[in-house]
């Protein structure tokens, strides 16, 4: 295993956010599930008359998009400061003179930032699978949503790491990473809604 990955993962899991972030993330997803369930099942008279498959599809779509939005908010936090923190602590020169190549350093920073976000994604799979109980979706939908989320998160982590290598301070790299995430998300949403059949 790349020693950079091992060092970064140990450091991340020893921090308080190593256990606090997954807990808050699952609480937020649980609140979204509860809200989506009541919105989907209750009509204007307060009676529940919705079929199970309809509830399952609504829960799955709500959870998939909510999960993607939450993870997109968290991805720049872990990747945008990966190299700038080395510059701020003046440890980058020592890292560059180590036995690791520049590619190994970049790969270690990228994988460690992506693995923590993927940990959050894996912890949310049981919540995402609640929709199975209602029907309307199958394993292929869960797999395709998870794979798409992983690809998007890997792309955003790479963008955050690029910003981290360009800027000298973490706050600037994080701000530009968030601006890029928002710009890409807004452009994608506009294209999606404009190309959707009326």
- pLDDT of 159-189, one tens digit each? 988 888 888 888 888 899 889 988 888 888 8
- What is the average per-residue pLDDT within 121-145? 81
- What is the average per-residue pLDDT within 49-75? 82
Q: CA dist 59 to 36, 106, 134, Å? A: 6, 38, 9
| Interacting residues of 138 by C-beta distance below 8 A, sequence separation 6+ | none
Cα-based angle 121, 127, 56 (whole degrees, multiple of 5): 120
- What is the average per-residue pLDDT within 65-76? 87
- The pLDDT of residue 11 is 73
User: What percentage of the chain has pLDDT greater than the value 70?
Assistant: 89
Does the pTM surpass 0.75? The reply is: yes
The rounded mean pLDDT for the chain is 81
pLDDT reading at 150 higher than 70: yes
Residues in the chain: 198
SS3 83: coil
- The pLDDT of residue 74 is 84
Question: Which of 57-71, 79-93, 138-152, 155-169 shows the lowest mean pLDDT across its residues?
Answer: 79-93
* Total number of domains constituting the chain: 1
- Residue 44: give the domain boundaries: 3-195
pLDDT reading at 41 higher than 80: no
Show the DSSP H helices in the chain as ranges.
3-14, 17-41, 52-79, 84-88, 92-96, 102-123, 125-128, 131-134, 139-166, 170-195
Cα-based angle 167, 171, 177 (whole degrees, multiple of 5): 70
């Amino acid at each position: 295993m790349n020693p950079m990955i091992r060092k970064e993962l140990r450091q991340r899991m020893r921090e308080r956010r190593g256990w606090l972030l997954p807990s808050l993330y699952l609480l937020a997803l649980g609140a979204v599930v509860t809200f989506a369930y009541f919105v989907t099942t209750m009509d204007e008279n307060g009676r529940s008359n919705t079929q199970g498959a309809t509830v399952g599809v609504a829960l799955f779509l709500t959870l998939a998009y909510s999960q993607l939005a939450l993870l997109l908010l968290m991805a720049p936090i872990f990747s945008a400061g990966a190299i700038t923190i080395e510059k701020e602590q003046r440890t980058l020169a020592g890292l560059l003179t180590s036995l690791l190549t520049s590619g190994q350093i970049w790969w270690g920073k990228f994988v460690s930032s992506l693995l923590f976000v993927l940990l959050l994604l894996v912890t949310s799979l049981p919540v995402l699978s609640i929709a199975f109980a209602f029907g309307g979706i199958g394993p292929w939908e869960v797999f395709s949503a998870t794979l798409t989320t992983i690809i998007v998160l890997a792309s955003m982590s790479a963008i955050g790491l690029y910003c981290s290598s360009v800027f000298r301070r973490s706050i600037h790299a994080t701000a530009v990473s968030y601006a890029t995430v928002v710009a890409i998300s807004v452009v994608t949403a506009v294209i999606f809604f404009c190309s959707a059949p009326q």
